[in-house]
Amino acid sequence: MNIILLGPPGAGKGTQAQRLVEERGMVQLSTGDMLREARTSGTEMGNKVAAIMDAGELVTDEIVIGLIDEKIRSGNTAGFIFDGFPRTLAQADALNELLSRNGAQLDAVIQLDVDDAALVDRIVGRAKEAVAAGGEARKDDNEESLKVRLMEYYKKTAPLIGYYYARGDLKVVDGMAAPDEVAQGISAALA
């Protein structure tokens, strides 16, 4: 089974993807994680996208499609969870193409529905928690980048909700509930 977790920054995509990995052995494909890894290892691509990511803007479709293409080609039987991809209509079209080229298909798109006003609090909370735990907050978990990330989401990614609804793939899950309940909602939607 291949699914997309769709929702704005702070909706809980990463948390829920992690649970699906643990419970179902699925493979999480987070383009955000892949890009952060590329930065840490200092690859040419990582250096190129660093400033864009810190500002909260989207990197080019070409780069993220290339990253996902490589992972899909490597294949897996338990299924992929696409987390933070696709984020544009061009990426959504590319994903269809990449999956079908590999004899696979998309089974469901889970939209984590959240209250817009709660997102800023959640993300600022996430940054504080990371620091309190002795770690470092994400460079883009600050109010200025967050405004840009939300605007990018509403301008470029939110149209995917209509796109997947029209394809009949969309399942809406209440993302405001506690993580356990959200996980149950996702299981019910996938049953």
Stretch that binds ligand AMP, among 54-62, 110-118, 127-135, 177-185 (CB under 6 A): 54-62
Give yes or no: 87 in active site.
Answer: yes
What character string, x for contact with ligand AMP (CB under 6 A) and - otherwise, covers 125-154? ---------------x--------x-----
Beta strands in 31-169, from DSSP E residues, in sequence order: 80-83, 108-113
Instruction: Check: CB of residue 9 under 8 Å from CB of residue 42.
Output: no
Omega prior to 86 cis, within 30 of 0: yes
Burial of residue 15 (CB within 10 Å: 0-12, 13-18, 19+) is: middle
Give yes or no: 149 in active site.
Answer: yes
What character string, x for contact with ligand AMP (CB under 6 A) and - otherwise, covers 96-125? ------------------------------
In the complex, the smallest distance separating the C-beta of residue 170 from ligand AMP, rounded to whole angstroms, is: 18
If you write DSSP's letter for every residue of 4-40 in order, what string do you get?
EEE--TTSSHHHHHHHHHHHH--EEEEHHHHHHHHHH
Size of the residue set binding ligand AMP (CB under 6 A) = 17
What character string, x for contact with ligand AMP (CB under 6 A) and - otherwise, covers 12-51? -------------------xx--x----------------
C-alpha distances in angstroms, 80 versus 4, 15, 62?
8, 15, 20
- Among candidate residues 19, 36, 39, 149, the one labeled active-site is 149
In the complex, the smallest distance separating the C-beta of residue 154 from ligand AMP, rounded to whole angstroms, is: 13
Q: Does residue number 85 form part of the binding site for ligand AMP (CB under 6 A)?
A: yes
CA distance 138 to 146: 11
Give yes or no: 19 in active site.
Answer: no
- Annotated catalytic residues are 13, 87, 126, 138, 149
